[in-house]
Structures are given as structure tokens and as C-alpha cells.
Amino acid sequence: MMIHYFIYSDKQMYSSAVKMMLDDLKIQSRIFDTLPDLRDEISDSKGTVMIIGPNSAQDPYDICQELSRMYPLTSVLLLLHKESIDLKQAMFSGAVDVVDIDSDESEVIKAIKKAEEVIRIKVKHDQEMNGIVREAKVITVCSTKGGVGKTTISVNIAAALNKHRLKVAVLDLDLQFGDVSLLFDLQPTQTIYDWVKQSYENGDKSYDRFLSKHPSGIDVLAAPSLPEFAELISGEHILYLIEAMKQEYDMIIIDTPPSFVETSLVALENSDVILLIASLDLPALKNGQLAIETLNLLGLEDKIKVVLNRDSKTERMSIELVENVLGRKIEASIPSDYHTVISSINKGESFVSGEPKTAVAKAVMKLTKQLISKMPSEIETRIEEPKKKGFSFFNRKKK
């Protein structure tokens, strides 16, 4: 679910300090100076963390009580001076917590986390009451030719989605020679093969302990450590994984081998979006054309989005020619940048994270925004602990 963060105080220095903290955590927030504007915005959003600071025009507890009762899908955190804190009054007004504005920043972060958890519970209950079920969007990245950058795009789309505060999982279905873990600089001790043998076949079927956890928060279910293990993984296993993981994540990215096998076909058939990676060379175009024909026969033509990777000026090659050959419009074009891409692969860090200002990173971010543009508003968000601890939150106003 997507949580909105609103800040309200008639003291600009406090509002700015809160916003600065949230900006450091890569969380978008808005400052409001008047209650009417704030009410209008809250009424249009479902799932809001409202941070109320000192206010000389109106009692913060009265503001909290009004917002909590008028907008039940709002979670209010009071950030006040120590002498103004009244725990009983805060409880009566409906605040999730009240924190001394001179507390360490880590204390403020903990309070915001608490407010987030309350919002998730409220929104989930509201959805259940209204019969709404939210599931992850599944994006499968495919190509019928190796070496076109399919895995690199999968990893960087996952990293870009993570920048939008989405809960992301990557499923590596290149079961013989998958490199997703390598590009994330992960060394998995458990893989999808271990999940099949130790969990699925024993009737447990839980998969969490077989995931590799990236420091950014992205979860990876790695390909088997040995190519011969691939044949032990079936379409049945993949179907179960997709359905189970859809209940836990906002976005699931599936990387596939450069061929259509049972496991990848199951993934394609159960995807919301299929990203077909093309490049400006004849073998890739020929195989891309065959892939589209196959997907059309499977009734998946409406899910296909063609992405042109390594776009550059090439003699006798153009986007128009690619579109004519494939019979489909190019949905996104990613420029060629050998140095940035190879450097990111060797570092085990996505270029979206490591080189966000490069043209190739901006192109992936643009593609990512297109992918989430039709996403339901209830998107999972998370807050990571700040790297710096033990200093006063109020000190931000003095810098």
C-alpha cells in the first residue's frame, strides 16, 4: 500500500526539519500551512501518516482529535515540546504516539514506524470490510536470445521499484545459469532448489527462509547452484510460488532464460506485464518476432511491452525498423552505456542505485514509472533505520 506523509505546523522550522528527515529516508512528504488545505488532501487519500508539530493558532490535541475522527484511515503522530506533552490527552485525541521534539532522530523514526503499522492495519481492515483484495503485480522479463541485457534490466527495474518504497521480490527462473544474485552481490546459501526439496515436497511450502535478503530490502529467490538441479523444478512449483508471493509483495520481478520452457511459460501466463527485451541486431529481431508470435498464440499479446535495450545509432537500423519487424510499438528505449552497465555488474550494484544520473538509469526509472502508473494506490512502504543515530532531531533546524 502507498502511505502518504503529511506535515502540519505553523512553525516552518519544525515542518522543514521533519521533511528533511523524511527526504533522507527517500520518503516523499508534503508540508501544509493551513488546515483547510490539509483536510482537502486527506479526504482524497487512503492511508496517511499525519505528523503534527507545535501550533500556536490551535491546540495540536484538538487538531489530532478532529483529523482522527473525520478521517479514520489516518494515523496521527504528535511531535511537541516536552512541556506540552500530555499522554492522557494524546490518547484521548487518537494520537498513535506523542514524541518530544528534542528527542534523538531514531526515536522519531520509531514513532513513524508505529504510525505506519497502525495505518496498514486500518487499511487492511477497511479492504476486508469492503471485499477488496490486493495482490502484487507480476512482471516477467523475457527474451529468446541471450546477451541482450535481460537480467541487467530485471535487477535494475527491481532497484528502481524499491526506490518507490515498494516491497519487491525477484524470482530467478534462469534455472541453469541464473545471475540475479551475482548482479545483486549476494551469495545465497539457499535457492529455489532447496525450497523445492526441503519445503515444498515436505508439505510445508513456506519460502521465506530460502530468500536472499538484499540490504536495500529487495528479496531474491536465487536460481539453483548447479545446472542439473533445474530439471527438478516444475511449472507446478512456479505457479505455487507466484500465487503465494503475490500476497506478500507489491511487485514481483521474474527473470527468465533465453528460451520458452515449462517454468518460464507458467511465469509468462501468470504475469500482469511481459517485458520483451529487443536489441538492434538481426538475430535478436528474428528471435523477438518468433517470441511475439508464440506469445500471441498463447493469448498473451495484451501483456507484451517491447523494450529496446542498448539503443544507439546503428547503420541501417532504427526504432521504426524494429517496430515494423516486430509488429509492435517500442514501449521504452534504454540507451547504450557500456561503461556504466559493466561497472555496475562488476560492483554488484544496480546502476539505478549507483549511477542514478546517467541516461541509462534515467531510462529505467522512466520505464518503472510507466509500470507502476496503473498500480493500485495501496502500495507497501517501509522506513529504514537512519545510518546516523544519537543526535537531536531538533538540530536539523539549526543547520
User: Mind listing the domains of the chain with CATH numbers?
Assistant: 4-131 (3.40.50.2300), 137-372 (3.40.50.300)
Whole-model pTM: value is 0.65
Closest by CA to 149, choosing from 267, 366, 310, 295, is 310
pLDDT per residue of the chain (399 residues) written in tens, 0 to 9:
567 889 999 888 889 999 998 888 767 788 998 888 888 888 766 788 999 999 888 899 999 999 999 988 899 999 999 999 999 999 999 999 999 988 888 899 889 888 888 887 887 777 677 765 557 899 999 998 888 899 999 999 999 999 888 889 999 999 999 999 999 999 999 999 999 999 988 887 889 889 999 998 899 999 999 999 999 999 999 999 998 898 888 899 999 999 899 999 999 999 999 999 988 888 888 888 999 999 999 999 999 999 999 887 766 777 888 888 888 899 899 998 999 999 999 999 999 999 999 999 999 999 999 998 766 544 444 444 444 444 455 565 555
